Amino acid sequence: MTPAHFREHLDVLRRSRRVVPLGVMLASLRAGESLEGTVAVTFDDGYADVGREAAPALEEYEIPATAFVITSAVGSEREFWWDELEQLVLHARDLPEILELEIGGAIARWDFGAARPLDLHGALARLSLGLSTRRPFDLPRYRGWRVWIGEPPTSRHALYRDFWQRCQTLSIDERDHVLRQLRAAVGDGRGGARDSHRAMTVEELRSLAASGLCDIGAHSITHPKLASLSGAAQLEEIAGSKRWLETILDRPVTTFAYPFGGARDYTRETVELVRQAGYRGACANVPGAIIPDQDAYQLPRLFVHDWDGDEFARRLTEEHA
């Protein structure tokens, strides 16, 4: 969202809601206190613009927030993989007519011309998109689309979602292998992260934590789909990110956000592991308002788009109703 719209959102919250730190909301929930009209602001992933753009606005409006951080991304010169994937699939002017990649030990093939069905039963997956590979792509029109919500509006978006779903369960090395193949296929030899899409550095993370208005929570080490991992691997992602942040920040880290956060992205075992790791609560990425008997380790949230203040206020009212 734009910084201007974010400030409009904060103005709406300041005028119409009781905004508290997430930890205060969790304490009130456990104490059985009313959360009527109460809101907690959260950010996922650990983008640098949380400190650069959001933190000054939070200070201006005196609104607290929590930033959930992917610890392996802190200080990285690479973009988050989903942003790099977006550049390669949605922004590339030209795509090859035939795209063939090795993904997770199998060959996946996309034919952008012939009308062939998608075959997911063999080692060779074929997807026909009927896509013109050599034309400018109108991205602003689709800016509000989210990969986990609704149908892809274009065939390029369908390709992006296919890659996005596949990459969730790959190891870091396997995912990097996919991205390297894609870069070669579209002729993209760019280097480091765009400043608009990079993660925070360690210094920026510490500065954000020291601001007093933005608490830091954990968002795993590598942002995997936890439901696809063994219990031991999940625990390392969950507890390891907590340990790293506590070492870097020299303070307790008490909240967690599930990577991706949908109902199929974590399990009951995951929830129990988060509890055992010492967190006091966790956020999912499912829509809804917190109810009196809400599980503190599966808090629903309202995903906020690039709405203006009036639309944001309307959505808040609808969600609460």
Which of these ranges, 101-110, 117-126, 206-215, 228-237, has the smallest mean pLDDT? 117-126
* Distance in angstroms (rounded) separating the CA atoms of residues 318 and 302: 11
Q: What pTM does this model have?
A: 0.89
256: β partners: 218, 282
Cα separation of 242 and 256, whole Å?
8
Q: Where do the H-state alpha helices sit in 17-73?
A: 22-30, 49, 55-61
154-189: pLDDT as tens digits: 888 888 999 999 999 998 999 999 999 999 988 876
Q: How far is CA 316 from the centre of its chain?
A: 21
DSSP 8-state code for residue 47 = B
Confidence (pLDDT) at 93: 74
Q: How confident is the model at residue 254 (pLDDT cuts 50, 70, 90)?
A: very high
Q: What is the pLDDT of residues 76-126, one digit of tens each?
A: 999 999 999 998 988 877 788 888 999 988 898 888 764 333 444 334 444
Q: Can you give the residue ranges of every domain in the chain?
A: 3-51+68-76+199-303, 81-186
41 with 64: CB under 8 angstroms?
yes
CA distance 171 to 192: 21
Mean pLDDT of all residues in 231-254: 98
- Kindly indicate whether the domain formed by 3-51+68-76+199-303 is annotated with CATH number 3.20.20.370: yes
